[in-house]
Amino acid sequence: MQSPSTKGAPDHEKGPPPVAQRLGYLLKQTSQAFRHRMDQALAPLGLTTAQYALLSHLREFPRMTNAQLARRAFITPQTSIRVLVGLQKRGLVLRDQAEVVNRASPAWLSQEGIKLLEEANLQVMEIETRLSKDFSLEEQTALAHQLQRALANLAP
């Protein structure tokens, strides 16, 4: 089977490289694999990756509003509100209507939420470690820096 992209031709006539070799594709594949592992590890706790992420952010910075949470997680507020309300209905996250100031309603973790998050952290750190298990410290920071550069390059 011969791909049309690999036929010899002058550069200006050549199409794009095979999908499997592109950085963007590799990035997606790796990130997807990571997400998949996370979902599998968290499922027994009744959590998804997005829910775990939201709990984690809220643990680091309690009393964030939905808008702040969304900015921190780099998702739209419409996406985060759904996850937030879901966790609130399960009693893992609390929000006090009485505290609403400027239309913004701060959220924080319940005791139950903190407990569940800590259980989840055990699973997640294992995956996080596994991802870079044969990376030296230098390689880990190199990867992080390169991803940050790539991210910056993509900014508008």
Partner DNA sequence: ACTTTCATATAAGCATGCTGATAATTATCA
Partner DNA sequence: TGATAATTATCAGCATGCTTATATGAAAGT
Interface residues with DNA (CB under 7 A) are 32, 36, 39-40, 48-51, 53, 65-68, 74-86, 101-105
Interatomic CA distance for residues 3 and 13, integer angstroms: 15
Interatomic CA distance for residues 97 and 107, integer angstroms: 10
The one-letter amino acid at 7: K
Q: Tell me if 32 contacts its own copies by CB under 8 A.
A: yes
Residue 48 binds what, of DNA, its own copies, none (CB under 5 to 8 Å, by partner type)?
DNA
Interatomic CA distance for residues 133 and 139, integer angstroms: 11
Q: Give ∠ CA 111-108-115 in degrees, rounded to 5.
A: 25
Residue 132 binds what, of DNA, its own copies, none (CB under 5 to 8 Å, by partner type)?
its own copies
Is the CB of 81 or the CB of 114 nearer to DNA?
81
Where are the alpha helices (H) located in 3-136, listed in sequence order?
23-42, 49-60, 66-73, 77-89, 111-131
Residues numbered 60 to 89 that lie near its own copies (CB under 8 A) are 60-61, 72, 74
Q: Are 69 and 79 in contact (CB under 8 A)?
A: no
Is the CB of 67 or the CB of 127 nearer to DNA?
67
Interface with its own copies (CB under 8 A): 1, 3-5, 15-16, 18-20, 22-35, 37-38, 53, 56-57, 59-61, 72, 74, 118, 121, 124-125, 127-128, 130-135, 139-140, 142-144, 146-151, 153-155
